[in-house]
Amino acid sequence: MKFIVTALLGLLLVGCTKTPLTNRSQFMMISPDQEMTLGATEAKKVVETSKISTDKKLQDRVKRIGAQIAAVSGRSDFAWEFTVIQDDTPNAFCLPGGKVFFYTGILKITENDDQIATVMGHEIAHALARHGAERMSMQNASNIGAQVLAVALNVPAQYQNLYAQAYGVTSQVGLILPYSRTFEHEADQIGLYLMWKAGYNPAQAVKFWENMARLSKSSQKPPAFLSTHPADEERIREIRAYIAQLPVTR
């Protein structure tokens, strides 16, 4: 009982934040300082373990677009860095604190600067909205919840590990995966606003995701409800709706 009370009090004392632009309330158990430290540590690991592209023209292009979008992000406290990694995987990501990494694989899919800005805005949006910290917070809460319920329901000690595993699967499908898809939609919306604010054409976002949809059709994907990303058709439909909501003037 003491453990249950302590755990519940801990959950009640977590920070309460809201996402930029969408103004969604967030559940946070990770402080901004912890998040920044983690981002800096992981960025160093990425640089040390990855093959950095030697294509100066490509590096300069990504840095230019990244700097323009970072300038309208409202986070001058971030130590923005933009790096291209030589890797054919169609991927990009932004770590807490503004460390952005683009794989050459995704740059092969982008047809122009506007489409690079689409990806850049989306990844920067993840960092601005603190999606990584929020996901970690939910996972931590899920782990605590499994232990609390096991004790509260008087699950025998020899079965508590099995119970926790089953609970983890349930929370993954029922809570964490849907929120991951929420994060993706949110990053699309915030990212579109950022690229528009920086002077890029949001309509190119539709073309980029159509390109990604064609690419994904050639590979097996899990059902939408078991994926951290929304279905391609759903995403493109939502992006068109977000574009329609953008202000008339910057």
Average pLDDT over residues 166-186: 58
* 25 belongs to a structural domain: no
* 3 belongs to a structural domain: no
- The active-site residue out of 81, 111, 123, 238 is 123
Q: What is the pTM of this model?
A: 0.78
* 97 belongs to a structural domain: yes
Q: Which comes out higher in pLDDT, residue 192 or 139? A: 192
pLDDT value at residue 137? 72
Q: What is the pLDDT of residues 107-135, one digit of tens each?
A: 999 999 999 999 999 999 999 998 888 88
* 16 belongs to a structural domain: no
Q: Which residues sit opposite 92 in a β-bridge? A: 102
Q: Is the pLDDT of residue 8 over 60?
A: no
* 216 belongs to a structural domain: yes
* 218 belongs to a structural domain: yes
pLDDT value at residue 94? 92
Q: Is the pLDDT of residue 6 over 90?
A: no
pLDDT value at residue 176? 39
Domain residues for the domain of 219 are: 30-245
* 204 belongs to a structural domain: yes
Q: How many domains does the chain have?
A: 1
Q: Which residues sit opposite 81 in a β-bridge? A: 99
* 17 belongs to a structural domain: no
- Note if 238 is an active site residue: no
